Structure 1
């Protein structure tokens, strides 16, 4: 892969990551509730979903999903509904502070699937990868090698950002009281609900224009 193309891809992903999405906000909240190490299961779930989305995009399945209009609309609204559910659940969590042995803590498996589903139900991510990858792939070079390089690069960067958000929130949780942690959880929940509403409004506008 051409080094200039790789740097351009790297810059694009970094710009995309600057604004935290629902998965990053979820990582913040889960780290406060369960500690950084345990919340890494959320990051693994998110990255697993991202990899599948990149695979789907690279195989050209996005166009097939979009052509099945009714199914695609159903998936989109299921994603919006789930994000609202996650946001409300975070908003009404009463005691998010990281307390060892707390009943509020969740299992690693639960955290993994929460991270996976939060990322997987967002069809915009699949479309993002479908629009992003072709811009940086040279059809005259081996596609598999390029896919591996781009995928690993994206996953590493996203993983670093998720880890940063998780560690940052754990430090904040240790420095402030339970009440501050609760408000922080409410802020994360509000932003996730807001992201879901924006996603839904965009879908309504797109469907109206169609």
Structure 2
């Protein structure tokens, strides 16, 4: 793979990531509620799902995923329901005078935050089809497939991780400067972001049916 092709690929991915999606909104929500350091587990969950989706695309499973309408629908709508439930729970627990708010946030495990990120990304299994359509545009038949595939995959993961971290840092910085009632409103907004993420996923599902 030449530097020119890789540069075009980077520019393409930047354009694709310029609009926040469900994963970015989830990162905003968890960073505002739990801080940047803990919310990095959410980013790790998202990137783990992306890695599996890329691997599936590389192994030629895109056609199988696309053809399995029933399994696709179940995974999609289960993820939507999970995000809505998390968002509603966060909104209901955001009480400015409730001392349990702080304890609740501390009790959220890193594994739970990781799973939120993983499910949000995995709830869009058509990402496998997306990667299967994107990567061939930058892979040359004159060179070995897997080294090129690895470069494209690692580049995407790094860029996505940087984007998620930037969103998280911004949300964490804002949340750290609000206390009391304002802090509760930050959590309500975070819960709302999570619900919006679920709505975006449902719209994508309906639009692609």
SS at match of 2:176: helix
Indicate conservation of the 8 Å contact 2:45/2:115, yes or no: yes
Specify whether residues 166 and 200 from structure 1 end up closer, same or farther in structure 2 by C-alpha distance, changes over 3 A only: closer
Q: Deviations over 1:117-172 (max 9, x none)?
A: 11112123222212211111112211111111111111111111111111111111
TM-score w.r.t. length of structure 1: 0.85
Maintained 8 Å contact 1:53/1:125: yes
Correspondence 1:73 to 2:73: yes
Query: Bigger CA drift: 160-169 or 171-180?
Result: 171-180
> Which residue of structure 2 lines up, in the alignment, with residue 134 of structure 1?
136
User: Does the aligned pair in 2 maintain the 1:5–1:136 contact within 8 Å?
Assistant: yes
Q: Are residues 1:108 and 2:110 paired? A: yes
Q: Distance in 2 between matches of 1:24 and 1:201?
A: 16
In structure 2, which of residues 174, 190, 195 is the aligned counterpart of residue 193 of structure 1? 195
Correspondent of 2:149 among 147, 150, 156: 147
What residue is the counterpart of 1:5 in the other structure?
Answer: 5
Aligned length: 205
Unpaired stretches in structure 2, ≥5 consecutive residues: none
Specify whether residues 158 and 19 from structure 1 end up closer, same or farther in structure 2 by C-alpha distance, changes over 3 A only. same
Secondary structure of 1:20's counterpart equals: coil
Query: Does residue 175 in structure 1 map to residue 199 in structure 2?
Result: no
TM-score by length of 2: 0.85
Query: Which residue matches 1:31?
Result: 31
